[in-house]
Amino acid sequence: MAANKLANVLFVVNPVSGDIEKGTVNETIEAFCLSNQINFGFFETTGENDLQNLKTILKKESYQAVFAVGGDGTSHLVGSALIHSSTPMGIIPMGSGNGLSKDVGIPQTLDDALGILLHYQVKAIDTLSVNNEICVHLTDLGFNALVVKKFSEGEKRGAASYALIAMQEYLTYEPKLYTIETDNGNFKGPAFMVTITNANAFGSNATINPSGIIDDGKFEICIIEPFPKASGLQILYRLYNDSIEASDYSRLISCRRAVINNTEQDVSQVDGEPMDLGEQVTIKLLPKSLLLLLPKPMSVSEE
């Protein structure tokens, strides 16, 4: 038994994320906690007042940690509830993408992710305030946000459905105009998409910000400028080969604060959740504002 085993944990479960039967997941979590003498509770999201209801529960009972059981949207919910608190967030990745959990090295299988409850380390990460909305992983405007919106409106989950929508929308998508002002450089012009993150990759494993570090006190605005349709495969290759920064169509601004004028009010999303951010988007860095539970490397004596 690990010396730093968690003793009292809340699992926040999104029953509609990903394409996995959550009833089976809950049963596995329950069996794991019972076999390891861990007190636990479940909070199931409904899509109605989830954040306020979760905050109310956390005020009534003290938990050692709160685990997001779902995708990036569930991590967004839990992170928003725990921001600037002393309670860490864990992640059991059960969504379609699971971008944040992949970026920070959380195991992607249920059994391995549960192992964090027995052997963990706590890491303080930076988050972002996007028009006063907490962003724990990634916000963007433009093409990817449109795909996220279409995906959320559909009935099918999973990576295959996401990829199909992306291919369909790519054929007709037209870049929009943006004006971006930051403390470390500006941009004005059309863009295929604008991504704001201090992490690395989308849940699809496409790496938009290869050099991003999640606790370095800055974030990146990653701009993909308009490109010929014939260059689409090359852009895609670079995204999946960690080399998008070398593309002639890629621009990157590393900063601590920014204002984006989204004059055409293009579609936007925060942590995998479609959101109307309006014509002006104000982004501020929140340094080391969220505690995250990560796997703890085992010493030789523990192996």
> Is 28 a domain residue?
yes
pLDDT digits (tens, 9 = 90+) for 67-120: 999 999 999 999 999 999 999 999 999 987 788 999 999 999 999 999 999 999
Residue range(s) defining the domain that contains residue 58: 8-125+289-295
Among 255, 264, 259, residue whose Cα is nearest residue 285: 255
**CATH number of the domain residue 143 falls in:** 2.60.200.40
**Mean residue pLDDT across the chain:** 91
> Is 226 a domain residue?
yes
Q: Which residue has the tokens 């279409």?
A: 150
* Greatest pairwise CA separation for the chain in angstroms: 59
Round to whole Å and give the CA distance between 10 and 12: 6
Q: Enter the tokens of residue 260.
A: 């984006």
pLDDT digits (tens, 9 = 90+) for 38-72: 999 999 999 899 999 999 999 999 999 999 999 99
> Is 77 a domain residue?
yes
Round to whole Å and give the CA distance between 217 and 198: 9
pTM value? 0.90
Count structural domains, the chain.
2
pLDDT digits (tens, 9 = 90+) for 271-280: 988 999 999 9
